[in-house]
Structure 1
Amino acid sequence: MKHSIIIIQVFIVAAIFTSTSCTKFLQETPKSNMPASEYYQTTEQALSALNYLYDKGTGIPSFYSVRGGLYDASNSFTFDNMSGLANNVVAQNTSIRNFASLTQGPDNCANYLGGIWRNFYSSIADANSIIANVENNGNINAEAQKKILATAKFFRAANYYYLIRLFGAVPLILKPYTSLDNIYMPRTSVDSVYNSITEDLNWALTNGMLADVPMGFNGNNISRGTVQVMLSEVYLTMAGYPLQKGVEYYKKALNTAKELLNSGGGYALFTSSGRLTPFDKLRLSDYDKGSEYLFFIEYDPSIQQSPFPQYSFPNTFPSPIPSTNLKIQYSLVLSTWTPSTQLLKMYDSANDIRRHEKQFYSTSFVYKSTASSDDTAISFSAMPYRWYDSAALFMTGASGKYTAIYRMADAYLIAAEAANELGEDPTPYLQPIIHRAYINMPAIPGDAAGRKNFILAERCRELAMEGHFWFDMLRTRLYPDVSGTNPTFSALIGHSNGRGQFYTTKDLLLPLPPTEMQRNPNLQPQNPMYE
Structure 2
Amino acid sequence: MWSFNNMDMKKYIACFFFVWCGISQFSCKKFLDVKPLDKLTGNNFYQNKEDVEAVINDMSRMMFDKFNETQFVGATGEYRSGEVKHEPASDGGPIRRCVEIAGTNNLLELMSNGTWNNTYHFERITQWMTYYKIIQAANILVFKLNEGIPALSAVETKQYLGEAKFARCLAYFFMVRLYGDVVYYTDAYHIEALPRESMVSVFNKCIADLKSNMNDMPWGFSDPAQKGVRASRGSIIALIMNMNMWNAGFDGSNATKYWRETAEMGDVLIKSNAYRLLPLTEWAVVARGRSDESLFELFRTVNYGDYVWPGAPISDMFIHFPYKQPQSRFQLSYAYYKAEYMQKIFPETDPDKRKDAWFQNMYANTGEFLLLKVAMNKYTEGTEDNNPENTFQIFRYADAILLRAEALANLNEDVDALTALNMVRKRADAPNYIGTGQELKDFIFNERSRELFGEGVLYFDLIRTKRILTRTWTSNPLTLDQFNRGGWTWPIDGAARDNNPFMVLNTYWTNGGI
In the TM superposition, what is the alpha-carbon distance from 1:390 to its structure 2 partner?
A: 5.9
Deviation of the 1:318 alpha carbon:
9.3
Structure 2 CA distance, aligned partners of 1:11 and 1:240?
35
Report the Cα offset of residue 99 of structure 1: 3.2
Change (3 A) 1:165 1:506: same
Residues 490 and 403 of structure 1: is their aligned pair in 2 closer, same or farther, counting only changes over 3 Å?
Answer: closer
How high is the TM-score relative to the length of structure 1? 0.75
Partner of 1:135: 146
CA distance in 1, matches of 2:145, 2:94: 43
Cα distance change, pair 87–144 in 1 and its aligned pair in 2 (3 A): farther
Distance (whole Å) between structure 2 residues aligned to residue 507 and residue 96 of structure 1: 17
Go from structure 1 to structure 2 and tell me whether the alpha carbon gap of 1:525 and 1:301 turns closer, same or farther (over 3 Å shift). closer
Q: Residues 491 and 417 (structure 1 numbering): CA distance in 2 closer, same or farther, change over 3 Å? A: farther
2:41 counterpart of 1:36: yes
Separation in structure 2 between the aligned mates of residue 304 and residue 33 of structure 1, nearest angstrom = 23
- Asked whether 1:270 is paired with 2:278, we answer yes
CA change 1:247–1:137 in 2 (3 A) is same
Letter matched to residue 135 of structure 1: N
Q: Distance in 2 between matches of 1:286 and 1:526?
A: 35
Distance of 2:96 and 2:151 partners within structure 1: 46
Counterpart residue number, 1:381:
368
Residue 106 (structure 1) shift: 10
What is aligned with 1:460?
449
Q: How far apart, CA to CA, are the structure 2 residues paired with 1:107 and 1:86?
A: 15
Check whether the contact 1:10–1:35 (CA below 8 A) recurs between aligned residues: yes
Deviations 1:199-238 (A, max 9, x none): 22212313x3333469957443111111111211211111
Query: What residue identity is the alignment partner of 1:444?
Result: I
User: Equivalent residue of 1:256, what SS?
Assistant: helix
Amino acid at match of 1:263: S
SS at match of 1:161: helix
1:120 aligns with 2:119: no
Q: Distance in 2 between matches of 1:53 and 1:450?
A: 42
Deviation at 1:242, TM superposition (A): 5.2
Cα distance, 1:509–1:419 mapped onto 2, change above 3 Å? same
Among 93, 107, 111, which residue is 1:104 paired with?
107
Tell which structure's C-alpha radius of gyration is larger: 1
* Partners of 2:245 and 2:259 within 8 A in 1: yes
> 8 Å contact 2:377–2:390 — kept in the other structure?
no
Q: Could you report, residue by residue, the CA deviation over 1:110-156 in whole angstroms, capped at 9, with x for unpaired residues?
A: 97156541232222122122222222223231222211111110011
More divergent stretch after superposition (150-159 vs 131-140): 131-140
**Aligned partners of 1:349 and 1:355 also within 8 Å:** no
Cα distance change on mapping 1:270 and 1:111 into 2, 3 Å: closer
Match of residue 351 from structure 1? 350
Letter in 1 for 2:493: P
The alignment yields a C-alpha RMSD, in angstroms, of 3.8
Q: What is the aligned partner in structure 2 of residue 517 from structure 1?
A: 497
Matched-pair contact (CA < 8 Å) for 1:294–1:408: yes
Gapped regions of structure 1 (runs ≥ 5): 15-30, 272-277, 322-326, 365-378, 496-501
CA distance in 2, matches of 1:520, 1:93: 37
Instruction: Give the Cα–Cα distance (whole angstroms) in 1 for the partners of residues 51 and 324 of structure 2.
Output: 49
Alignment deviations for residues 443-491 of structure 1 (CA, whole Å, 9 cap, x no partner): 4323x11001100000111101111111111111104989xxxx77899
Bigger relative contact order, structure 1 or 2 (CA pairs below 8 A, ≥6 apart): 2
Would the alpha carbon gap of residues 114 and 122 (structure 1) be closer, same or farther in structure 2, given more than 3 Å must change?
farther
1:291-327 CA distance string (max 9 Å, x none): 2111112111131155546445348999655xxxxx8
Q: CA deviation at 1:418?
A: 0.5
TM-superposition CA deviations, 1:44-65 (whole Å, max 9, x none)? 111111111221xx33x344x3
Letter in 2 for 1:269: L
TM-score for the superposition, normalised by structure 2: 0.77
Contact 2:406 2:444 in 1 (8 A): yes
Measure, in 2, the Cα distance between the counterparts of 1:488 and 1:67: 30
* CA separation of 1:94 and 1:121: change in aligned 2, threshold 3 A: farther
SS of the residue corresponding to residue 523 of structure 1 reads: coil
- The 1:204/1:311 distance shift into structure 2, 3 A limit, reads farther
Instruction: For residues 235-271 of structure 1, give each alpha carbon's deviation from its aligned partner in whole angstroms, at most 9, with x where no partner exists.
Output: 1111122565211111011001110011132x11113
Q: 2:53 matched to which residue of 1? A: 47
Alpha-carbon distance between aligned partners in 2 of 1:92 and 1:335, rounded to the nearest angstrom: 13
1:81 is aligned to: 79
**Between structures 1 and 2, the one with greater helix share:** 2
Describe how 1:230-309 pairs up with structure 2 within 5 A.
230-241=239-250, 245-265=254-274, 267-271=275-279, 278=280, 280-284=281-285, 288-302=289-303, 303-304=305-306, 307=310, 308=313
Structure 1 residue 177: Cα displacement: 2.9
Q: Specify the alignment match of 1:435 in structure 2.
A: 426
Q: Is contact 2:293–2:396 with CA below 8 Å preserved after alignment?
A: yes
Pick closer, same or farther for the CA change 1:402–1:46 going to 2, 3 Å.
same
CA distance in 2, matches of 1:263, 1:153: 22
Unaligned runs of 5+ in 2: 20-35, 88-92, 113-120
Q: 1:44 to 1:511 in 2, by over 3 A?
A: same
Structure 1 residues 334-483: aligned runs within 5 Å: 335=333, 338-345=336-343, 346-357=345-356, 359-363=357-361, 380-389=367-376, 391-395=378-382, 399-425=388-414, 426-439=417-430, 441=431, 443-446=433-436, 448-479=437-468
SS in 1 for 2:379: helix
1-side partners of 2:261 and 2:422: how far apart?
Answer: 21
Structure 1 residue 172: Cα displacement = 0.7
Matched, 1:164 2:176: yes
Partner of 1:373: none
**1:19 alignment partner in structure 2:** none
Pick closer, same or farther for the CA change 1:258–1:108 going to 2, 3 Å.
same
Tell me whether 1:10 sits opposite 2:14 in the alignment: yes
Q: Which residue of 1 aligns with 2:186?
A: 174
The alpha-carbon distance between structure 1 residues 11 and 388, as it changes in their structure 2 partners (threshold 3 A), is: closer
| Count of aligned residue pairs for this structure pair | 459
Give the Cα–Cα distance (whole angstroms) in 2 for the partners of residues 450 and 415 of structure 1: 17
The corresponding residue for 1:371 is: none
Q: Distance in 1 between matches of 2:428 and 2:40?
A: 53
Q: Name the structure 2 match of 1:196.
A: 205
CA 1:442–1:126: 2 relative to 1, 3 Å? same
The alpha-carbon deviation at position 158 of structure 1 amounts to 1.1
What is the CA–CA distance in structure 1 between the aligned matches of 2:293 and 2:349, rounded to whole Å? 25
Q: Taking structure 1 as reference, are residues 127 and 354 closer, same or farther at Cα in structure 2, changes over 3 Å only?
A: farther
Q: Which amino acid aligns with 2:406?
A: E
**Alpha-carbon contact 2:286-2:294 (below 8 Å) kept:** no
SS, match of residue 393 in structure 2: strand
Q: Secondary structure at the match of 1:338?
A: strand
SS of the aligned residue for 1:236 comes to helix
